[in-house]
Amino acid sequence: MNYRHAFHAGNFADVMKHALLTRLLSYLAKKDKPFRVIDTHSGVGLYALDGDEASRTGEWLEGVAKLEQPFPPAVEELLVDYRRILADVKARYGETIYPGSPAITREMLRRQDRAILVELHPVDAEELKARYNSVSNIKVMHLDGWTALQSLIPPKENRGLVLIDPPFEKTDEFQRITREVVKAVHKWSNGVYAIWYPIKDQRQITRWADDLGQQLVRPALRLELMIDSGVDITRLNGCGLIVINPPWTLKAEAEVLLPALVERLGLNKKASCVIEELGPAQ
């Protein structure tokens, strides 16, 4: 493995993914019953935006840096948890530190909830262990994310979220997502699954998403943020999140949040978003 998320921390894709992650966790926390979060490809949890990797790409300047000015009230209401976590992490670790999904999860877990953070990269896994293994309701595992997924479900709480954010280094990554996720949903049908993916060729992504939806036994929501037209399929033009068993509020929230992110983070007037239902309910 050679993918290191530190080069991309705080970019437009992180903003979209993490803002929606806070909405999913907030929904799960509405009930007193405990829930479990399984993060299959965790990274290290915290990233220095002034570090060597992030400084080399500067991607955060076109992402989280553009959130300084407030959005309209309806959008800000959906960003409350995300903004709170950004502020808390900065106050605790420094002004240039950006939280990855493990840090966001930790901030939103209640005492009764639990999280398992899985990371295969040996250096990142050790850093993750040093940072979170001392937290009583978090466990870090140095393991392949796909192996962990199938072995950790269903959790004893029987409610929760699986976040899947693979490195997309292999040419068959999308096919593997379909295979592993369909298998997982059959095994744990009422879990919420959030699958992040990069978009270069949106037409190819549409074919994949449609195929995944046809194989699912549960409803899903396809959410995408395109920062460019997608004409040049050699570059990253956007990102997406497919949420299986989405909270009933998520579609309406996405209809408020994603257009606002398009306007703020889009590179030109060709920027757009996708909000589409998938699965057997359609």
Find out whether 58 is annotated in a ligand binding site: no
The fold adopted by the segment(s) 20-45+107-278 is Rossmann fold (3.40.50)
Find out whether 213 is annotated in a ligand binding site: no
What's the CA dihedral at 96, 100, 105, 106 to 10 degrees?
Answer: -50
Find out whether 119 is annotated in a ligand binding site: yes
Please enumerate in sequence order all residues whose Cβ is within 8 A of that of 71, keeping only pairs 6 or more positions apart, or say none.
79, 260, 264
Residue with tokens 């300084």: 68
Find out whether 186 is annotated in a ligand binding site: no
Active site amino acids: 165
Would you say the C-alpha torsion 168, 85, 130, 116 has a positive or negative sign?
A: negative
Q: According to the 3-state scheme, what is the secondary structure of the chain?
A: CCCCHHHCCCCHHHHHHHHHHHHHHHHHCCCCCCCEEEECCCCCCEEECCCHHHHHHCHHHHCHHHHCCCCCHHHHHHCHHHHHHHHHHHHHHCCCEEECHHHHHHHHCCCCCEEEEEECCHHHHHHHHHHHCCCCCEEEEECCHHHHHHHHCCCCCCCEEEEECCCCCCCCHHHHHHHHHHHHHHHCCCCEEEEEEEECCHHHHHHHHHHHHHHCCCCEEEEEEECCCCCCCCCCCEEEEEEECCCCCHHHHHHHHHHHHHHHHCCCCCCEEEEEEECCCC
Find out whether 276 is annotated in a ligand binding site: no
Domain residue ranges in the chain: 20-45+107-278
Q: Return d(Cα 168, Cα 128) in angstroms, integer.
A: 21
Q: What was the pLDDT predicted at 171? A: 85
Rounded average pLDDT per 10-residue block, the chain, 282 residues: 65 97 98 97 91 73 94 98 97 94 97 97 94 95 95 96 92 94 96 97 95 95 95 92 97 98 95 92 48
List the structure tokens of 33: 């019953």
Report whether 1 contacts 169 (CB < 8 A). Answer: yes
Q: What was the pLDDT predicted at 110? A: 97
Q: What was the pLDDT predicted at 51? A: 72
Report whether 72 contacts 264 (CB < 8 A). Answer: no
Report whether 96 contacts 50 (CB < 8 A). Answer: yes
Q: What was the pLDDT predicted at 282? A: 47
Find out whether 145 is annotated in a ligand binding site: yes
